[in-house]
């Protein structure tokens, strides 16, 4: 009888220990979740270094859907408003087997049209009185 009690107590002790250990060292079953939660993503100048995308809300949706066929370079080198990005996506769906983005599509389009819009590409700084120096064009002097 004592033996059974001892085995029982030992068993309880062992189970409790395992339970406590798990609390302290969460198991590696859901490694992916943990990576997202525990590892600080590497961000330099607002850029998510592993992907090259701007680290802004919605980035993870783009990361999830858009990087399996090509790198983010194609995205960061492109620009467009909401409609233009929608067209790019439809084009890839028609020609390159891009899947239906489902509920993620609005978030993706929002992210792309906010951070990769025409507005930010290839525009020189606005000319003001401060950054321009005027000179007098004297065409006659140059012509002999």
Positions touching ligand HEC (CB under 6 A) are 65-66, 68-70, 74-75, 78, 88-89, 92, 96-98, 108, 112
Instruction: Output the smallest distance, CB 55 to ligand HEC, in A.
Output: 16
Cα atoms in the Cβ-side hemisphere of radius 13 Å centred on 48: 17
E-strand stretches of the chain: 43-44, 47-48, 53-54
Shorter beta-carbon distance to ligand HEC: residue 10 or 120: 120
Instruction: Output the smallest distance, CB 99 to ligand HEC, in A.
Output: 7
Distance (Å) of CA 50 to CA 4, 54, 69, 86, 105: 57, 11, 16, 25, 22
Instruction: Output the smallest distance, CB 23 to ligand HEC, in A.
Output: 39
Shorter beta-carbon distance to ligand HEC: residue 54 or 75: 75
Q: Residue written as tokens 């062992």?
A: 14
Identify whether the C-beta of residue 121 lies closer than 8 Å to the C-beta of residue 79: yes
Instruction: Output the smallest distance, CB 136 to ligand HEC, in A.
Output: 45
Shorter beta-carbon distance to ligand HEC: residue 73 or 129: 73
């Amino acid at each position: 009888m004592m033996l059974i009690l001892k085995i029982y107590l030992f068993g309880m002790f062992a189970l409790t220990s395992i339970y406590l250990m798990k609390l302290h060292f969460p198991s590696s079953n859901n490694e992916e979740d943990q990576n997202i939660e525990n590892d600080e993503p590497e961000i330099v100048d607002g850029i998510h270094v592993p992907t090259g995308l701007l680290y802004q809300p919605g980035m993870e949706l783009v990361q999830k859907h858009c990087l399996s066929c090509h790198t983010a370079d194609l995205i960061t080198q492109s620009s467009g408003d909401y409609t233009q990005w929608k067209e790019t996506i439809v084009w890839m769906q028609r020609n390159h087997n891009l899947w239906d983005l489902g509920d993620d599509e609005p978030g993706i389009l929002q992210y792309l049209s906010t951070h990769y819009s025409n507005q930010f590409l290839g525009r020189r700084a606005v000319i003001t009185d401060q950054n321009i120096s005027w000179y007098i064009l004297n065409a006659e002097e140059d012509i002999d």
